[in-house]
Amino acid sequence: MPDLKNPWVKWAGFIVAIIPFVLIFRRIDFHHMVFEILPKVAWWTIPLVFAGTLLSLTIQGTRWWLLLRAFTDEIPFLQGLSCHFMSLYYSSVLPTGAGEEVLRTLFVLKKTGAAVGWGAAWICKITALMLSLLFSIYGLASLSKGSLPRALTMSIGFFSLLVILIAVVSFSKKFTAPIRSLAATRLPAKIMAAIEEIREGVYRYRHKKKALIETLVLTFLIQFLLVFNASVIITGITGRVYFLECLAFIPIIEIASMSVPITPNGMGIREGLTALMFTHIGLTPDQLGIYILIALSATMLRLVGAVPTFFYAGQAAQPLRNAAQGKPITKEQA
């Protein structure tokens, strides 16, 4: 992972995020987009996409909380959901989707312990990756034959099998032991300690079958809503259904955009790959412009996390206000 404190890396991330927008919007006829395309967008598009996005974010937090609850009852549901939305709020400006998992794990680490906290983060990430690839494979297989390069389909299929293998093997210490021994000779002790915590946490979840089944079901719903939202936007703009195309491409676009640790929340990379998808299915740059505006508006729902963030910040500052006013500080506030 690049050094995010390096100013050159920051500038590189800024450039990578901006260039796709410049290339996309220079091809757009803004007069035609605003006065011809935008008025024809179905009225239900934005409400439905916003509802689907908020539901997806809530299910993500619920999935994570259920994994934690398998080992501890110290985190109430609303507190867990608040931590999740706080992590969404902060990770909006962090590179890669891993920022979200790292932040919310750190929020509850004292109550869950490192092994359970990092184990839950790994399971959320690996199941999302696995089901995203399976969705994409099904979408690619459902499209008409010859519409896509055979090498692309086979590459995605091979990568999916590899991810599934990694997911299954990660639950066995016997199979991960040789990898651990090799990594210990090449990685710093601090990184190895973190890997050990994840390994131990994942191993503990091996016996929590109910939690794992709940995770798979909720992850399926999350990935479906991701594809559904994209399909709703395109249908609202064009009046035609492109669900299979979204099923084939949107999961891959999301994986790629959240895996490159440069731009905030994959911004720019996601839009550039979406432009390639629009070109493939024969939609216009003006329609792409409307799609991007609606999709970016929906991502602003991550800022809902500002509410619990400022609430908890206010609670933390209460002892200081009491001290300034000469009021006693309670044990709960100390």
Mean pLDDT of the 323-329 span: 48
What average pLDDT does the chain have? 81
3-state secondary structure at position 257? helix
pLDDT on residue 6: 59
Indicate the pLDDT class of residue 199, thresholds 50, 70 and 90.
confident
Mean pLDDT of the 279-307 span: 89
CA 144, distance to chain mean position in Å, is 29
pLDDT on residue 50: 96
pLDDT on residue 321: 47
Q: pTM for the whole thing? A: 0.84
| CB distance 66 to 120 below 8 Å | no
CB atoms within 10 A of CB 311: 12
Mean pLDDT of the 19-31 span: 90
Over pLDDT 90: what percentage of the chain? 33
Picking from 111, 113, 110, 86, the residue whose alpha carbon sits closest to that of residue 101 is: 86
Across the strands, what pairs with 306? Answer: none
Picking from 99, 107, 155, the residue whose alpha carbon sits closest to that of residue 125 is: 99
3-state secondary structure at position 198? helix
4: DSSP letter: T
| CB distance 91 to 111 below 8 Å | no
Mean pLDDT of the 19-38 span: 90
Mean pLDDT of the 139-150 span: 69
Mean pLDDT of the 173-195 span: 70
